[in-house]
Amino acid sequence: MATWFDESRLDDAAVLEADDHVLRLLAESGARVRRTSGEAAEATAQAVARAEDLGRPRAVIAAGPDSRLLRAVLEPWCPVPFVAWPAPGLPGWAGSLDLVVVLAPDGADSGTASAVAEAVRRGCQLVVACPPTSMVAEHAAGRWSTILPTTARDQLATAVALLEYLDRVSLGPRADADQVAEALDAVAIACSPHRDLAVNPAKMLAIALADANPVVWGGSVLAARAARRVAESIRRSTGRTALAGDAEHLLPVIEAARQRNVFDDPFGDDAGERRPMLLVLDDGSEDAVVREQRGRLLAAAAERRVRVETVTADAPTEVARYAYLSLSGAYAAEYLRIGFVED
């Protein structure tokens, strides 16, 4: 069955009302971050006091399948050796001198529970952000354990609560929950369904994505992580292809695009062809390598006449910029899904 994109649906009040449950979930992202930070505040203070007594750990281990987000934040910054360990269990060398941190938004993953139980058995310092009555929390009980209670079951909100702790013990970058929430609120206001597509960046991006195969790139470690989240959102919402990766992985896709001619027949056999579209997630990084990679991608896109769209994050911290980019892409993916109709 053929599908086509009807941009008028993005300003149709009845259509948007039918999708209100998803759009409202996106709009409440900032509120979930604030609420989760407040829930964990007392336990965070206790964990900080304990860390001051124990001193700086030999290494930090982020355990569990959600450790990849922590890796993106901590690897460029952490002043002690850091390892992300998404598999069940812990590295063989982990012991009482090491800090194990765990994100468990649902608290129901058996592999994460196994890693937490092993950390307790080995006497590791352990800080777990999870629902207080979950399976992971039950396995985390121990002398050197702290549970940061979270109930939102939201990965970003749970991560911010844990990153606030790491910030306060000088093991991670600045991660102010209020600033992250403000960045998310700014996206929710700009991309609100009540703003028409002429002034709504997410709706305009959805229109650009409608007839393209998106190629999503972010230069810094966190922007690259956001790119993968945005591509995942597009695939999940529409079932269409969306790629994210490093510059050297995306360049062949752009360079293989058919060269467009200004004299091509807009109604010819190739009129319905979906070409690549480069979506750049810009978090303001001025690293020389990032600038060089961006230049190569933009030059290749210009040569092959590939459309380029840019989402720019304006927020004071790295984590807030990551949140801004991720939520902007999630809104665009949802509007893309809303716009598609079947014949």
Domain for residue 196, yes or no? yes
Gyration radius (Cα) of the chain, Å: 22
Question: At 195, is the secondary structure helix, strand, or coil?
Answer: coil
**Which DSSP category does 105 fall into?**
S
Give the per-residue pLDDT at 269: 47
* Cβ neighbours around 76 below 10 Å, total: 14
Type of residue at 116:
V
Are 200 and 123 members of one domain? no
* Cβ neighbours around 138 below 10 Å, total: 15
Q: In the structure encoding, which two tokens stand for residue 267, read together?
A: 């109604």
Buried b (16+ CB within 10 A) or exposed e, 250-285: bbebbeebeeeeeeeeeeeeeeeeebbbbbbbbbeb
Are 168 and 203 members of one domain? no
Give the per-residue pLDDT at 65: 87
State pLDDT tens for residues 264-300.
554 444 545 689 999 999 999 989 999 999 999 999 9
Give the DSSP per-residue string, 254-267. Answer: HHTSPPP-TTS-TT
CA angle 4, 213, 331 (to 5 degrees): 75
Are 238 and 335 members of one domain? yes
CATH code: domain of residue 252: 3.40.50.10490
* Domain around 131: 56-173
Domain for residue 48, yes or no? no
Question: At 67, is the secondary structure helix, strand, or coil?
Answer: helix
All residues at 6 or more sequence positions from 235 whose CB lies less than 8 Å from its CB, including other chains:
241, 242
Are 67 and 95 members of one domain? yes
State pLDDT tens for residues 89-114.
899 999 999 999 999 999 999 999 99
Give the per-residue pLDDT at 267: 47
Full-model pTM:
0.93
Rounded Cα distance, 282 and 253, in Å: 20
Rounded Cα distance, 199 and 179, in Å: 24
Are 23 and 67 members of one domain? no
